[in-house]
């Protein structure tokens, strides 16, 4: 059963609808994850709705921050905004949910990071910094919550084939190099050892594994899902 939190509830509704069609209870809670009080209120409501249990937390809310700006061109406000979303958001959720997991005998926490948090990236300083920081948060919580049988791990997607890739990245690469969009996709794929772009299902499968009982002895890891870019 699912409790789905976020600011854009219209974007969440299709996920809830799909879950309900499978016989899963799916409740939506409007919540700005960067607001600790709002998170605490939502988690309290979730506890009441789901009989005091939260077994799995997936921190997937996040943003990109300024793109195409150097660190010196990035304003303090832009830097703060993406760090708040990509780091403070997961911190707030873990801070609120881990005590519930402790009371009920354990749980699984999966943070969604990014491969730019595993390798430095020029012109993406704010985003890269926030995802590097999320790795530190993951590892520290893994050490602190391990004795309570709470696993804390991170999945780091690379580029994912979807609307942003097809509608923004591919046309930009095609225009930059004077090639077709099909050639732009192929060019991008050559960055990876497996020479293919990840899908949303690839990311979901890794997340599901780390959230499952099969990952009972895995905690504090960074798992890139990128066809072999960050780790090779």
The residues assigned a catalytic role are 127
| Residue entry with tokens 């798992």 | 223
Spatial separation of the C-alpha atoms in residues 88 and 79, rounded to whole Å: 13
Do 87 and 137 meet the contact criterion of CB atoms below 8 Å apart? yes
Measured between alpha carbons, how far is 45 from 67 in angstroms, rounded to an integer? 37
Closest CA to 150 of 158, 142, 162: 142
Contact yes or no for 98/114 (Cβ under 8 A): no
What six digits make up the tokens of 6? 């976020």
- C-beta atoms surrounding 30 within 10 Å: 12
CB atoms closer than 10 angstroms to residue 203: 20
Are 125 and 195 within 8 A, CB to CB? no
* Pairing label, strands 222-225, 150-157: parallel
CB 219 within 8 A of CB 153: yes
């Amino acid at each position: 059963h699912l409790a789905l939190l976020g600011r854009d509830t219209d974007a969440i509704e299709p996920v809830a609808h799909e879950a309900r069609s499978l016989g899963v209870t799916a409740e939506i809670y409007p919540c700005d994850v960067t607001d600790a009080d709002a998170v605490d209120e939502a988690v309290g409501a979730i506890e009441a709705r789901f009989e005091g249990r939260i077994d799995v937390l997936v921190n997937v809310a996040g943003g990109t921050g300024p793109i195409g700006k150097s660190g010196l061109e990035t304003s303090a406000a832009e830097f703060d905004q993406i760090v708040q979303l990509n780091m403070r958001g997961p911190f707030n959720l873990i801070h609120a949910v881990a005590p519930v997991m402790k009371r009920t005998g354990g749980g699984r926490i999966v943070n969604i990071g990014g491969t730019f948090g595993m390798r430095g990236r020029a012109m993406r300083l704010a985003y890269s910094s926030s995802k590097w920081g999320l790795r530190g948060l993951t590892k520290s919580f893994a050490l602190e919550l391990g004795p309570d049988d709470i696993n804390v791990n991170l999945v780091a997607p690379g580029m994912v084939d979807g609307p942003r890739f097809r509608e923004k990245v591919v046309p930009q690469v095609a225009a930059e190099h004077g090639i077709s969009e099909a050639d732009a996709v192929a060019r991008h794929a050559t960055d990876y050892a497996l020479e293919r772009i990840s899908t949303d299902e690839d990311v979901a499968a890794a997340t599901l594994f780390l959230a499952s009982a099969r990952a009972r002895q895995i905690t504090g890891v960074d798992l890139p899902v990128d066809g072999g870019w960050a780790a090779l």
